[in-house]
Amino acid sequence: MRALIAEDSVLLREGLARLLDEEGVEVIAQVGDADSLRARVRADPPDVCIVDVRMPPEDNADGLIAAIELRSEFPNMGILILSQYVEPHYALELLQVGTDGVGYLLKDRITDRTQFIEGLRAVAGGGTAVDPAVVAQLLGRPRKDDPVQRLTNREREVLAAMAEGKTNSGISDSLFMSEKTVESHVRSIFMKLDLRSDQHTNRRVLAVLQWLRT
Amino acid sequence: MRVRSGVIVIVAAAALSVLAFVVQQWSLTRYDLVLDLPEWLWTQLAVGWAFLLSGLAAGRKRPDSLIGRWMVVFGLIWIGRLVFTPPAIQWEAVGWALALYGLLFVILYTLPSGRLRRWEKWVAGIWMAFVLVMAVAVVAFTDFYRGIDDPVCCPSHLLLIEDAPATADAIGTIGLAVAPLVFIAIVSAQLSRWLRASRVGRRNLRSVIVVFAPLLVLLVLVPIATVIADGFSGLTEAFGSSLGLAPAPQPTRLNLYVQDTALIVLPVLILAGLLTTRLSRARVADMMEDLGSSSNPQELEKRLQETLAEPSVRLAFLREGSDERVDVNGERLEFDPDTQTMTELDDRVSIVHDPAVDRGLVAAAGAAAGLAIDNARLHAELRAQLLEVQESRRRLVTATDEARRAVERDLHDGAQQRLIALSAALKQAATHGSKRDPAVDELLGDAAREADLAIGELRELARGVHPAILTQAGLGPAISNLADRASIPVRVEVDPDRYPSDVEATAYFVVAEALSNAFKHSSADTVVVSVRDEGGGLYIEVIDDGIGGADTDGSGLRGLSDRVGSQGGRFRVESGLDSGTRVTAWIPHRDRSR
């Protein structure tokens, strides 16, 4: 797997590069601002880009904007956004340009090596990864006559896992239940939330997150 | 107008008059025409001289008004056009139109000051050009010698394209349809000036009535009656008939006769009007006198403008302990010595005005207003200080915001990244493990968890100081995030547009504080937040359906009120018992000095 790192903090960028190197991921370039990110990707697109939301030159959401732009130019390239912010808005913006091979993780996840590499591989492999903290914030949002409250505890766990981008088999692994059980939970959740069921795992993420946001 | 130039004008006009007489006589002999030339020429010369002399007199007696100059120019064009005779006769008609419909309309519109403001100059210029084009167009299709079999003079004049009475008629009808409309617009403008003026101001507008009342009857009715009776060709023929070239239909000649008489009387009326409203020092003082000391500064300035019949008059006050001048509103006053004059009333108060206004009159008006001007000065000084305080209040809020943003940025770029690196290192150490001592591994694990907690807390702290999403994505996503983290359901209806950052920040803090109050004290089931663009500002509304009775003097709401006030906005809390709480704010974002 060939990866590109776009992160303006030298400390994190180099730490990340070392980590990936140790995990056998080839880091083809490290850049510190949005413009170099664009230039490097256009010159030689990697399998996956790891991009910090906030970067020079404007020090606003430059990284995210550049990533969304590159996403439409290279639809097969994975994009993993790293962020300091628990912001569903950014996650949704990213997913709205395409749900395959994108991820939005907090920078904290870097500290848990296995979890981070798992997320990176999922994104590089065309899957989706949304940070559990973002999902938790959305799940916790109070709603009038909240349908989420009508879910069983188990169903709520499955809903969170779906929103994080896990596939049915991934959910069955992490929650220690059979895939059949997962499927039945998913059906029940979709019915209770009055959502149209979607078999496609990645599109399912967007549908669930959008439902949770409104 | 100075005496010297007056004499030059008279000499020039006299020379033109003599020339006109000679040329017209010569042309009669040359083309062997039999006609009542003297009657026509005398009438035209009388009109020209009436304007010329009245204009000179007006310029003498009312140097503040430009009407006199306009009248002199009218007279010169009117007389000057008479020197044109075949084969250049067309310029006579063009000059006639230009003076009558162009210049005269300007005179009537600008009575009594004779001044055009900036956009009015454009309009007047366009109107003049229109008149010129129409006149030339009519002439181009009119053979003034129609029906005269004279090989010497025909083909008629130089501008003639072909003799097409129907075409000339059509163009002329357009012109004569537009002219009354413009005249009506002029009358309306004068009428609205009259209606808007105060009792004192109307005294200066009396001249307008003296002129317009008789004029309305003559100037509108006569040409319209002529056109209705004969069509435009009637006027053309009337021209011919004046020169004795064509048989004249009797009613048209009568109309023209009335019109010429009106044109002789008109300048005298204008002069009379200007003289009845002539300003003298005694009169100016008289007009200012009943003002007293009670009226407000803006009213005082308006009264000065009306009394001096000059809308450009401004009061200027020198600020205490500074050499800055401010106007009646306490705002900085720009003074341009090239186009304005400053008449000082005392060492602190002056009146800025157009150089044409007599400084003696200005000083008299100012002196008569004495006490009121003193009050106005104090008022302006207070206003200026208030503006300064408002400005510094706004700067304080901006500076606070900037500082908050800087702290958030520093946390993001510094401590947060370091803590993440620290946590990663600790976790790595814990997993690689010091195989011999489990206690150390446990300690490392604890330390990593503490670091993770610190990362979380620091993230919340940074958010509270200044939410980065607000700068990066605007109010909508920032407020949605507040709703995510709420303890009761919040409906968010936020206009997706972006606004100046200080406006967004204030709006955000208003919503955040109102929501936090609602969560803590209202026992509400739902809260509705709406933000929309309204009346040049951002309108924010946070309504809950709780128990009401919010403490509007609490430090949180008071702080919001101050903050909104510093940006020239409004803030309000309504919280009756059992009727829920409604927090509203309006923050201007357009037409701001910054």
Encode pLDDT of B153-201 as tens digits.
544 566 677 777 788 878 877 877 787 788 888 889 888 888 877 766 7
Is A25 in the same domain as A83? Answer: yes
Which of B448, B465, B482 marks a domain boundary? Answer: B465
Same domain? For A163 and A67 the reply is no
pLDDT at B158: 65
Q: Are B362 and B314 within one domain?
A: yes
Residue with the larger pLDDT of the pair A7 and B39: A7
Contact B468 A107 (CB under 8 A): no
Residues of B in contact with A85 (CB under 8 A): 459, 463, 468-469
Q: Which residues, other chains included, contact A88 with Cβ-Cβ below 8 Å and sequence gap of 6+? A: A134, A137, A138, A209, A212, A213, B480, B481, B484
Map residue A29 onto helix, strand or coil.
strand
DSSP A125: T
Of the given ranges (A60-69, B60-69, B412-421), which has the lowest mean pLDDT? B60-69
Pairing of strands B341-344, A48-52: unpaired
Where among B409, B437, B465 does a domain terminate? B465
Tell me which residue of B136, B151, B40 sits closest to B86, measured CA to CA. Answer: B151
In this predicted structure, the answer to whether residue B243 has a pLDDT above a threshold of 60 is no
Residues B322, B346 contacting (CB under 8 angstroms)? no
Same domain, B412 and B552: no
Clarify whether residues A146 and A81 are in a common domain. no
The last residue of a domain, from among A130, A153, A168: A130
CA distance A191 to A189: 5
Backbone angles phi, psi at A29, to 5 degrees: -160, 155
- Reported for B518-523, long-range contacts at CB under 8 A and 24+ positions apart, including other chains, are B518/B488, B518/B542, B518/B544, B518/B546, B518/B581, B519/B486, B519/B487, B519/B488, B521/B546, B521/B550, B522/B546, B522/B547, B522/B548, B522/B550, B522/B580, B522/B581, B523/B547
Do B199 and B333 share a domain, yes or no? no
Based on the fold, state whether residues B494 and B446 are members of the same structural domain.
Answer: no
Residue B593 lies in a domain: no
A143 shares a domain with A201 = yes
pLDDT at position B55 is 93
- Confidence at B232, pLDDT banded by 50, 70, 90: low
Give me the mean pLDDT over the A119-142 stretch.
93
Q: Is residue B12 part of a domain?
A: yes
| Residue-level pLDDT at B225 | 65
pLDDT for A137 equals 93
- Are A90 and A81 in contact by the 8 Å Cβ rule? The answer is yes
Q: Indicate if A17 and A116 belong to the same structural domain.
A: yes
| Residue B355 included in any domain | yes
Q: Which of B81-85, B283-287, B429-433 has the lowest mean pLDDT?
A: B283-287
Closest residue on chain B to A58 (Cα): B472
The nearest CA of chain B is from the CA of A59 a distance in Å of: 9
User: Is B458 domain-assigned?
Assistant: yes
Give every CB contact of residue B185 below 8 A, 6+ residues apart in sequence. none
Last residue of a domain, one of A130, A162, A180: A130
Q: State whether ipTM is beyond 0.90.
A: yes
A49 and A125 together in one domain = yes
pLDDT bracket for residue B65 (50, 70, 90):
confident
pLDDT tier for residue B85 given thresholds of 50, 70 and 90: confident
- Write out the two tokens for B520: 């803590």
d(Cα A210, Cα A95) in Å, to the nearest integer?
10
> Which domain, by its residues, includes A80?
2-130
Render pLDDT for B7-30 as a digit per residue (tens, 0 to 9): 999 999 999 999 988 888 887 777
B456 and B535 part of one domain? no
Considering CB atoms only, which of B427, B459, B487 is closest to A84? B459
Provide the β-strand partners of residue A6: A31, A51
Report pLDDT for B181.
84
Structural domain contains residue B594: no
In CATH, what number is assigned to the domain containing residue A178?
A: 1.10.10.10
Cross-chain residue pair B485–A137, CB shorter than 8 Å: yes
Compare CB distances from B424 to A87, A111, A144 and report the shortest one's residue: A111
User: Does A50 have pLDDT greater than 60?
Assistant: yes
> Per residue in A112-130, pLDDT tens?
888 899 999 999 999 999 9
Percent helix, strand, coil in chain A, to 5, is 55, 15, 30
The pLDDT-based confidence of B434 (bands split at 50, 70, 90) is low
pTM for the complete prediction? Answer: 0.65
In terms of residues, how long is chain B? 594
Q: Is A112 touching B (CB cutoff 8 A)?
A: yes
Into how many domains does chain B fold?
A: 4
Assess whether pLDDT exceeds 70 at residue B220: no
Same structural domain for residues B149 and B224? yes
Mean pLDDT of B485-512: 93
Q: Tell me which of B408 and B262 has the higher pLDDT.
A: B408
What is the count of structural domains for chain A? 2
Nearest CB neighbour to B481, from listed A9, A84, A87: A87
pLDDT of residue B251: 45
Between residues B293 and A214, the one the model is more confident about: A214
pLDDT confidence bin for A53, thresholds 50/70/90: very high
Count of pairs with CB atoms under 8 A, one residue in A, one in B: 86
Do B485 and A107 lie within an 8 Å CB cutoff?
Answer: no
Which residues from A are below 8 Å from B427, CB to CB? 111-113
- Name the residue in chain B with its Cα closest to that of A16: B421
Judged by a CB distance cut-off of 8 A, whether residue B473 touches chain A is: yes
Please give the radius of gyration of chain A, using alpha carbons only, rounded to the nearest integer: 17
B330-339, B405-414, B527-536: least confident range: B330-339
The interface residues of chain B toward chain A in range 500-539, judged by CB-CB distance below 8 A, are: 525-526
User: What whole-number distance in Å separates Cα of residue A192 and Cα of residue A194?
Assistant: 5
Which residue of chain A is at minimal alpha-carbon distance from B476? A89
Band of pLDDT at residue A204, cut at 50, 70 and 90: confident
Nearest Cα residue to A86 out of A12, A139, A157, A126: A139
Rounded CA separation B138/B93 (Å): 9
User: CA of B536: how far to CAs of B164, B475, B588, B592, in Å?
Assistant: 58, 17, 6, 10
Judge if A67 and A119 occupy the same domain.
Answer: yes
SS3 B318: strand
**Are residues B81 and B163 both part of a single domain?**
yes
Question: Strand order in B527-534's β-sheet?
Answer: B490-494, B527-534, B537-544, B581-588, B570-574
Q: Among partner residues B427, B480, B481, which is closest to A111 by beta-carbon distance?
A: B427
Average pLDDT of span B385-397 = 90
Residue B238 has pLDDT above 80, yes or no: no
Q: Which of A60, A137, A138 is nearest residue B472 as measured by Cβ atoms?
A: A60
Interface test with A, best of B417, B479, B529 (most A CBs within 10 A): B417
Residue A169 has pLDDT above 50, yes or no: yes
C-alpha B175 chain-centroid distance: 29
In a domain, B244, yes or no: yes
In the predicted structure, residue B202 carries a pLDDT above the cut 90: no
**A11 and A97 fall within a common domain:** yes
Residue B544 has pLDDT above 50, yes or no: yes
Distance of CA B200 to the CA centre of its chain: 23
Residue B209 above 50 pLDDT? yes
Residues 6+ apart with CB under 8 A from A65: A34
Closest chain A CA to residue B481: A87
Q: pLDDT tens, B246-268?
A: 333 444 555 566 667 778 888 88
What CATH number should be reported for the domain holding residue B514? 3.30.565.10
Among the partner-chain residues B462, B471, B489, the one whose CB lies closest to the CB of A143 is B489
Distances (CA, A) of B126 to B123, B384, B476: 5, 42, 50
A21 and A103 fall within a common domain: yes
- Rounded CA-CA distance B131/B135 in Å is 6
Q: What six digits make up the tokens of B251?
A: 């009613």
Residue where one domain finishes, among candidates A78, A106, A130: A130
Interface list for A 128-157 with B (CB within 8 A) = 137-138, 140-144, 146
Chain A residue nearest residue B424, CA to CA: A111
Query: Hey, is the C-beta of B432 within 8 angstroms of any chain A C-beta?
Result: no
Domain housing B317:
281-385
Integer Cα distance of B567 and B565 in angstroms: 5
Q: Do B557 and B459 share a structural domain?
A: no
DSSP B249: P
Distance from CA of A126 to the nearest CA of B (A): 27
Least reliable range by pLDDT among A155-169, A178-192, B165-179, B284-298: B284-298
Is the pLDDT at B33 greater than 70, yes or no? Answer: no
Q: How far apart are CA B471 and CA B484, in angstroms?
A: 19
Task: Calculate the average pLDDT of chain B.
Answer: 82
Q: Report pLDDT digits (tens) over B335-371.
A: 888 888 888 888 888 999 887 777 888 888 888 887 7
Rounded to whole angstroms, the Cα distance separating B165 from B173 reads 12
Torsion of CA B206, B209, B212, B214, to 10 degrees: -130
Q: How many CA atoms lie within 13 A of B191 on its CB side?
A: 8
